Structure 1
Amino acid sequence: MIFSTFLRPFLLQTKTHLHDLIRPLCLVSFTLLSSCSVNEIDSSNDFNNNGRDTAALKRETLYLKESLPPGLPMPDASFESGLQQQIKYLNRIGDKDFVLENTQTNVADLKVVAQEIGKWLHNPAQQPQLIAHQLSGQDQRGNVQITGYYVPALPVRHLPDEVYRYPLYRKPEHRNLDGTYPSREEIDFENALAGQGLEIAYTSSLVDNFFLHVQGSGVVEYEDGEQKLLSWGGGNGHAYRSLGKELIERGEIDRANISAQSIRQWLSDHPDRNREILSMNPSYLFFSEGPKSPVGAANVPLTPLYSAAVDPKVIPLGSILLAQLPKLDTYGNLIGHEFRLLLAQDKGGAIKGPGHIDWYQGIGEEAHFHAGQLKHFGKVWLLLPENPTPKILIAQ
């Protein structure tokens, strides 16, 4: 069953349905200034073949409610394992309401969605009784930027030496007077956390540390072959600033060529400017030594190609999403889109608002390659029950 064939009438219906909602107001992306602007997305995301649907009609609301199309993209077996982890998370957090902009839901509703999808997996002929709520995206036209993240495997040492001398830290106990912890520059270049016994391991590169912070978790391998998973252990409370955006604005990298790989290459080519550029992002991540499988903010193992990091203010953790995701060739060029079910199981400091989700690619170099290429637009629907229910439990 080719999902895009079934979805095409649904998308056309969406555009017609939106027509009555359009008013001549100045609507801009959440990433831009609130004043009226002809730019609907941030300039760093505006490049040729970025996958953005500029013909979609604008709307005012955060979510647009639509009937579920008569066909869903069948996932592989790993999705069902991830779904079971999702159900465990929902049963663990208990009753909770989520008041969103122009809709609301609760944990009981999210359990119903998981139950409906679970039934459908075992009987694809049974259409899930769900409603698809499309996110407005960066531009109020439904365009959501899809980036990728992965879990790197990084060589480290237990103790510092001449090469491996850059620490990865646990979270400090004491904050600054303003409630934050030291900034990236203070930690990495002024040794603000030295001597507190917070070091977990030592790497050979501050750039490696930076990208590990951006990813949020990673597998480290010590000199004796021991491997540990470092998971998200909290942030320093400083605002996240994108190095990619900074390098684009400075004219160092063309926006069409921005990627994790191009940023890493630029930093390698300009070692004398590493402090200047890395310190532009004061946000800093601390780690905890967790279970053997990578986990996200929902504290469940992440499922490669099915887990996603979201803004919980827009997409509650534990949600199931329908997403139209970019398909790229080996050079990172967009060649189309594909539909996939995603599990909202993680969050990140750079994932804010309805215009951005981060798609988990897995562990290691292949996952790194695919994650680094993703920067294109797609569309995202939050799946909720046709008939909301106050409470329902699912047996684990």
Structure 2
Amino acid sequence: MNITHILQSFIPTQKNNRSIFYSLCITSLSLLTISCSLTEIDSSNDFENNGRDTTALKRDFLYLKESLPPGLPYPDASFQNGLQQQIAYLNRISDKQYLLENTQTNTEDLKTVANEINSWLQNPAQQPQLIAHQLAGQDKRGNVQITGYYVPILPVRHLPDEKYRYPLYRKPTQRDENGNFPSREEIDFESALVGQDLEIAYTSDLVDNFFLHVQGSGVVEYEDGEQKLLSWGGVNGHAYRSIGKELIEQGEIDRADISAQSIRQWLADNPDRMRDILSANPSYLFFSEGPRDPVGAANVPLTPLYSAAVDPSVIPLGSILLAQVPKLDSYGNLVGHEFRLLLAQDKGGAIKGPGHIDWYQGIGEEAHFHAGQLKHFGKIWLLLPLNPSPKKLIAN
């Protein structure tokens, strides 16, 4: 699908949006003579060929309502399975209103979108009756950073030994006198949870544990071959801090080279500084033992290359997204973008606001490789019904 053709086909659909659009166009003419400010995005995301569209119009609104492109990207069969899980999720939750800055929606509307997409999959000639609401992104120009996550498979032991001595924990019940759980440094380096019978398994590498926390879930394999899925089981409540950003700010890794692989390599090369760097992120994730299939925050199985982790205050769980996602070569270099549908089925501690989503890549090492390379910008549209039910919307 030609990106230019699709983007040119997006036309604001309401009179007030047209006036806003034309005003922005006039304003943008004065901006063409100057470069876009680097302060529009986080400095850690400002690297060459990052996929950011610096020529896009800037606006003041979280969502820009645009017409649906004439041809949606047709997904493969695995999306259909994920969509059925999405519909089941929407059918079992109570009706909820979502006031999303300048856009309003509700659970019933999300069901309508899912059913419209489902009908279109059965009959592609039948165009879904939907409207695309583009997210403002990190820079209010529509640029959303799209990172990747995956479910690793970690070898573990039921009991600790000389090699496998780093525990993965369930969520504790004991808090300190101020009602807080311990920080990462207190848990991993000061044994704050020892003696509370919270250990699920033991790994051979504290860095593996850290990245498992970042991913939010993973498959562990015990010495007898038994496999279990460890899912998100809560957090300690401390603020999340990216150690990638920490390493960039300390001048240890160039922002263009930051990835899960480069961070791992740096930690392996600098074991004497591992405590300080890992502890720079005081947030800590706990696990619960669950079924074999990885599940997201919507409590449905994740679909590789179609599920996404979002900030539910910006994109409600159960939404369907149109995404312009980065295409990378084998070296992690951006070679273009492609359009695809995504299912908002998960959330994450690092996914906050309209400028970032996490794209699920699957299970195992190949998924790990692709997830580790993704850090580039694309664009995201929240799909909502063309004709939402007025009685379901919150009055202004």
**Pair 1:366–1:249, CA change in 2 (3 A):** same
* Matched residue SS, 1:39: helix
Residue identity in the other structure for 2:21: L
Looking at structure 1, the residues matched to 7 and 135 of structure 2 have their Cα atoms a distance apart, in angstroms, of 17
Aligned residues of 1:109 and 1:391 also touching (Cα < 8 A)? no
Match of 1:109 in 2: 109
Match of 1:71 in 2: 71
CA drift of 1:93 comes to 1.0
Looking at structure 2, the residues matched to 13 and 62 of structure 1 have their Cα atoms a distance apart, in angstroms, of 14
Looking at structure 2, the residues matched to 8 and 227 of structure 1 have their Cα atoms a distance apart, in angstroms, of 45
| Aligned equivalent of 1:18, options 9, 17, 21 | 21
CA drift of 1:177 comes to 3.8
* Matched residue SS, 2:69: coil
Aligned residues of 1:47 and 1:255 also touching (Cα < 8 A)? yes
* Matched residue SS, 2:66: strand
Looking at structure 1, the residues matched to 303 and 2 of structure 2 have their Cα atoms a distance apart, in angstroms, of 22
1:198-347 alignment to 2 at 5 Å? 198-347=198-347
**Pair 1:219–1:390, CA change in 2 (3 A):** farther
1:139-154 alignment to 2 at 5 Å? 139-154=139-154
**Pair 1:178–1:66, CA change in 2 (3 A):** farther
Aligned residues of 1:148 and 1:371 also touching (Cα < 8 A)? yes
Match of 2:90 in 1: 90
CA drift of 1:98 comes to 0.6
Match of 1:56 in 2: 56
CA drift of 1:180 comes to 2.8
Residue identity in the other structure for 2:342: L
Looking at structure 2, the residues matched to 210 and 325 of structure 1 have their Cα atoms a distance apart, in angstroms, of 27
**Pair 1:200–1:137, CA change in 2 (3 A):** same
Deviations 1:143-181 (A, max 9, x none): 000000000000000000000000000000122344431
**Pair 1:344–1:123, CA change in 2 (3 A):** same
Match of 2:32 in 1: none
Match of 1:28 in 2: none
CA drift of 1:3 comes to 5.7
CA drift of 1:91 comes to 1.1
Looking at structure 2, the residues matched to 369 and 344 of structure 1 have their Cα atoms a distance apart, in angstroms, of 22
Residue identity in the other structure for 1:92: R
Looking at structure 2, the residues matched to 198 and 115 of structure 1 have their Cα atoms a distance apart, in angstroms, of 43
Looking at structure 2, the residues matched to 332 and 38 of structure 1 have their Cα atoms a distance apart, in angstroms, of 23
Match of 1:80 in 2: 80
**Pair 1:358–1:84, CA change in 2 (3 A):** same
Residue identity in the other structure for 1:312: P
Aligned residues of 1:216 and 1:285 also touching (Cα < 8 A)? yes
Deviations 1:222-275 (A, max 9, x none): 000000000000000000000000000000000000000000000000011110
Aligned residues of 1:3 and 1:71 also touching (Cα < 8 A)? no
Looking at structure 2, the residues matched to 248 and 230 of structure 1 have their Cα atoms a distance apart, in angstroms, of 30
Structure 1 range deviating more: 167-176 or 113-122: 167-176
Aligned residues of 1:6 and 1:71 also touching (Cα < 8 A)? no
CA drift of 1:12 comes to 7.6
Aligned residues of 1:235 and 1:286 also touching (Cα < 8 A)? yes
RMSD: 1.9
Aligned residues of 2:98 and 2:104 also touching (Cα < 8 A)? yes
**Pair 1:135–1:86, CA change in 2 (3 A):** same
Residue identity in the other structure for 1:230: L
Deviations 1:342-388 (A, max 9, x none): 00000000000000000000000000000000000000000000111
Aligned residues of 1:308 and 1:344 also touching (Cα < 8 A)? yes
Match of 1:39 in 2: 39
Deviations 1:257-315 (A, max 9, x none): 00000000000000111101000000000000011100000000000000000000000
CA drift of 1:390 comes to 6.3
Looking at structure 1, the residues matched to 110 and 328 of structure 2 have their Cα atoms a distance apart, in angstroms, of 31
Residue identity in the other structure for 1:143: N
Aligned residues of 1:3 and 1:339 also touching (Cα < 8 A)? no
- Percent identical across equivalent pairs? 80
Structure 1 range deviating more: 315-324 or 85-94: 85-94
Aligned residues of 2:12 and 2:65 also touching (Cα < 8 A)? no
CA drift of 1:391 comes to 8.5
Residue identity in the other structure for 1:379: K
Looking at structure 2, the residues matched to 272 and 319 of structure 1 have their Cα atoms a distance apart, in angstroms, of 44
Deviations 1:38-97 (A, max 9, x none): 510000000000000000010000000011011000000000110011111111111110
**Pair 1:24–1:181, CA change in 2 (3 A):** farther
**Pair 1:390–1:185, CA change in 2 (3 A):** same
Looking at structure 2, the residues matched to 128 and 9 of structure 1 have their Cα atoms a distance apart, in angstroms, of 19
* Matched residue SS, 2:90: helix
Looking at structure 1, the residues matched to 312 and 114 of structure 2 have their Cα atoms a distance apart, in angstroms, of 17
Deviations 1:126-148 (A, max 9, x none): 10000000000000000000000
**Pair 1:47–1:19, CA change in 2 (3 A):** farther
Q: Can you give the 5+ residue segments of structure 1 that lack an aligned partner in the other structure?
A: 26-36
**Pair 1:333–1:255, CA change in 2 (3 A):** same
Aligned residues of 1:310 and 1:346 also touching (Cα < 8 A)? yes
Residue identity in the other structure for 2:9: F
